[in-house]
Amino acid sequence: MLRAPTEGGEHMNRENNTWKVLLYHLMSEQKTQQLMASLKQNKEEITDTLESNRPWISGERKHENDRLYIISAILNIIQMLMVGHAALCPATQTKKMQTLERVFKQMQELNCACFAQFLATYQSRRTHQLLSAAGRNNYRGELRWIFTHLLTGEAQAEWLREFEGCLHKEPIPPTRGRMLAEDDCEEILGLLREERVEMGFRLIKEAGFRPHEVLSLHPCDILLANQETGEMLPLPSVLLQQESATGGAPGEMAAEPEEESPLDCTPMTIIIQLPDHNPVTSSGRNKTGGRVVPLMGQFAREFLCWIRTFLKQEAVGAQERLFPWANGYFSRTFTRLKKIFAQPRDKGGFGHPFPGRLYDFRHTAATTLSRRPISDQLLKRILGWSRSSKMAEVYIHLGPQDIAQWAYSVQQ
């Protein structure tokens, strides 16, 4: 049973008001101290906000709509606590708050039964349809996020026990992707006007990155591997060494350099290393852990040329992100490109819908990589799959022509 002491020393339980119990846990002394330490707001302002909510716990305030007042107080505390999570971009914070406000105000009590009823009966205001499995999983994820990220210790354990069985996500069959034709890829990428966005899309298409992994990249994650010695050097330090040798800014070549740069005199392979703490999604969830991804062929040369110029012009620090940390940065851009793509040719489009999704770029990369002489384990390491993963069955699309090509190579 959920229990928390009141101001007078008595205990309130879920029969009294589960909303008050959650409010108490969020405003516990330990959590208040964390709030003081993490937020960059004025301490007096935070204290006033917290103190104004204490009477709802002690029962000093009575109102016919006190449930809504308590819920507003809870949402207020949650919103302030979110600021302490650096991985949450502002757009994600807003989306979380809207989702939580919607589900909280539909529930009379904060318990498993009321939450299950909400998932079964809630209808979208726009479409007037019941929630899909993905929609129900979204609400489950947001509620679990509160318990696992904002509560600690016994309070966290009590709430997870209370909602045991309600927060498990429903299995959803993966969307059937496809490999995109090279012409289709080049046509839609040709509609981009910003080189940085195009390079982000190409990292997905050519190297198989997930979109949120690209958003997580820092200059220090880009390594140059010396093909002769095997040594891996961070790109910023190599450019700094080049700057010192040429006497100019990174990327500039002196008329007569005294010595050659490591970029010019030694065969190099571009490696992008994703550490365990990076990537994180815009929701703060580390989905994939760390791995090493090589860039190959013409794209590797194009990327190196772009990154040298970009770091010089934008003065991006080694620990700063290469791409804007914004929710939907790539997906919204891609949606806009698809609309332009479908327009008639006299309006700059191609006169037919684009035959794929943003994530099909990753399917294309996986299929292209599988056609190379590469082992299954190395393929999984590069694409970020576990050893026992069966994701290759979803991402790799081989047809009769691939079998014929393999047979021809064996005969030769």
Q: What is the pLDDT of residue 174?
A: 67
**pLDDT value for 34:** 60
Question: Alpha carbon of 204 to those of 119, 195, 273, 302: distances in Å?
Answer: 35, 15, 15, 15
Identity of the residue numbered 111: N
On whether the CB atoms of residues 341 and 354 are closer than 8 A, the answer is yes
CA dihedral 127, 133, 134, 138 (to 10 degrees): 90
| CA-based nearest residue to 273, from 297, 290, 288, 296 | 290
CA 4 to chain centre: 35
Domain ranges of the chain: 3-162, 182-223+268-411
pLDDT averaged over 10-residue windows placed end to end, the chain, 412 residues: 48 61 77 55 49 50 67 86 69 86 92 93 87 91 89 88 89 79 92 93 94 87 83 84 63 44 61 70 55 89 90 80 83 92 91 91 94 90 88 88 86 80
CB count in 10 Å sphere of residue 179? 20
Distance of alpha carbon 312 from alpha carbon 309, whole angstroms? 5
For residue 108, give the nearest of 27, 14, 26 by alpha carbon: 14
Architecture of domain 182-223+268-411: Orthogonal Bundle (1.10)
pTM of the model: 0.68
Q: What does DSSP say about strands 291-295 and 222-226: parallel, antiparallel, or unpaired?
A: unpaired
- The tokens of 59 are what? 């029962």
Q: Are 239 and 317 in contact (CB under 8 A)?
A: no
Residue type, 251: G
Q: What is the pLDDT of residue 35?
A: 59
Nearest to 207 by CA among 250, 147, 269: 269
DSSP assignment of 159-186, as one string?
Answer: HHHHTTTTSPPPP-PPP---PPPHHHHH
Phi (first) and psi of residue 70, to 5 degrees: -65, -40
Rounded CA gap, 379 and 207, in Å? 11
User: CA 405, CA 182: separation in Å to the nearest integer?
Assistant: 18
